[in-house]
Every structure is written in structure tokens, then in C-alpha cells.
């Protein structure tokens, strides 16, 4: 018979040489996401909620968050890019995937993984606002407030974090580490 090892132990054994530290553990994320979901459910009771997930980084946050949202809603995806394969923003945002829904007159909630300079969100907000939604708010897991260059209104924030390049829980470094169930700092970043 195959003997299985404890899943988180295996994952940790595999990644620990590459991680400097776990910044936000799994349990803390779980609790905060549940709180955010409950707040969103109360605020959007009786409304026509459309959730727009910004790919790729927000996929894991979205999947957990919507399991705590107890009002009817539709989910759509957008993708924008400002980073390429590095840890520094290029400052130029490009739209890679647009919405498939008409959001005119509807209550739109953008779900994003992290706000850094604010340029990506600002770009997405401007695109969506031009389509005349009834309301437009943002729910973001991580806020690197001290890095902000463009002011963006945030309706719901999971955690405010310091200026460090983080990976895991959907966030990548050159497309890797998105599968980590916690938010961590890689050794590569901490040796910069």
C-alpha cells in the first residue's frame, strides 16, 4: 500500500531552500478571507453583484473568497500585465484579456491579489468605469501601501504588508510558486 506523507510537510520540504520566510500563514489567510467574504455578503445583499477577478495572481484568493460570499453573483475574468518575468514593475500596463460581460448598471467588485504602485488597478478601474457600472469597488488581498504611486480606492483589504516581493497564494515569481498555500518571501528577493 502507498504511504502518504503529510501534504504541507511535503510542500515545505520541497520549497524551504527557496523561501526566506512565511509572511502570512495559511490559517491567518483563511480567517481573513472568511471575514472579507462575510463583509462583502452583507454589503451586497439584494444587489446585482458581478465579480471581476484579475488574472493570474488573484485566482486562488477568488476561489476561496467566493466560497464565503452568500449572495448571488456572476464571476468574470480580466488579465493585465505590468511585470513580465521580474520583480520590478515595468510601469506599462497592458490588457491581455477583457471581460465577456456587459457591466452597465451592475454592481461590480474587482478582486485583485496585490496593489503595489497602483498602476494596474488604476488602469482596470478606468476601463471598467467607462462602461458605466452602477457601482465599482475593489477587494484586494495584499496592500503594499508605501509603494503607491497612483491613488486607488480600496473597498476591502486583506493585509497591509511592507515593501517586499512576496510569492504564494496565487502570487508568482517568474510564474512559479503560485501554488503555495501561504504568502512567503523568496530567498531570491531577500538577497537583492
Interface with ligand IMP includes 57 (CB under 6 A)?
yes
Q: How far is the CB of 189 from ligand IMP (least distance, A)?
A: 8
Query: Measuring CA to CA, which residue among 110, 112, 97 is closest to residue 61?
Result: 112
Q: Where are the alpha helices (DSSP H) in the chain?
A: 7-15, 26-43, 59-65, 119-129, 187-190
How far, in Å, CA of 34 to CA of 64, rounded? 8
**Residue closer to ligand IMP (CB basis): 44 or 142:** 142
Interface with ligand IMP includes 165 (CB under 6 A)?
yes
Of the residues 116, 122, 172, 192, which is catalytic? 116
Interface with ligand IMP includes 82 (CB under 6 A)?
yes
Q: How far is the CB of 118 from ligand IMP (least distance, A)?
A: 5
How far, in Å, CA of 158 to CA of 43, rounded? 16
163 belongs to the catalytic site: no
Binding-site ranges for ligand IMP (CB under 6 A) = 57, 82-83, 89, 112-120, 165-166, 171
Amino acid at each position: 500500500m502507498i504511504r502518504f506523507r503529510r501534504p504541507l510537510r511535503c510542500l515545505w520540504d520541497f520549497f524551504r531552500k527557496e523561501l526566506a520566510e512565511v509572511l502570512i500563514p495559511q490559517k491567518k489567510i483563511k480567517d481573513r478571507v472568511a471575514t472579507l467574504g462575510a463583509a462583502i455578503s452583507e454589503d451586497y445583499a439584494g444587489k446585482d453583484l458581478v465579480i471581476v477577478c484579475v488574472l493570474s495572481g488573484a485566482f486562488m484568493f477568488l476561489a476561496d473568497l467566493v466560497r464565503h460570499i452568500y449572495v448571488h453573483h456572476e464571476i468574470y475574468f480580466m488579465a493585465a500585465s505590468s511585470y513580465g518575468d521580474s520583480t520590478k514593475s515595468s510601469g506599462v500596463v497592458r490588457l491581455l484579456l477583457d471581460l465577456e460581460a456587459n457591466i452597465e448598471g451592475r454592481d461590480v467588485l474587482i478582486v485583485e491579489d496585490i496593489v503595489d504602485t497602483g498602476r494596474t488597478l488604476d488602469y482596470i478601474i478606468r476601463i471598467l468605469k467607462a462602461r458605466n457600472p452602477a457601482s465599482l469597488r475593489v477587494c484586494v488581498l495584499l496592500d503594499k501601501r508605501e509603494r503607491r504611486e497612483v491613488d486607488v480606492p480600496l473597498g476591502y483589504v486583506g493585509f497591509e504588508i511592507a515593501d517586499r516581493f512576496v510569492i504564494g497564494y496565487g502570487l508568482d515569481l517568474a510564474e512559479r510558486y503560485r501554488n503555495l498555500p501561504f504568502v512567503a518571501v523568496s530567498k531570491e528577493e531577500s538577497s537583492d
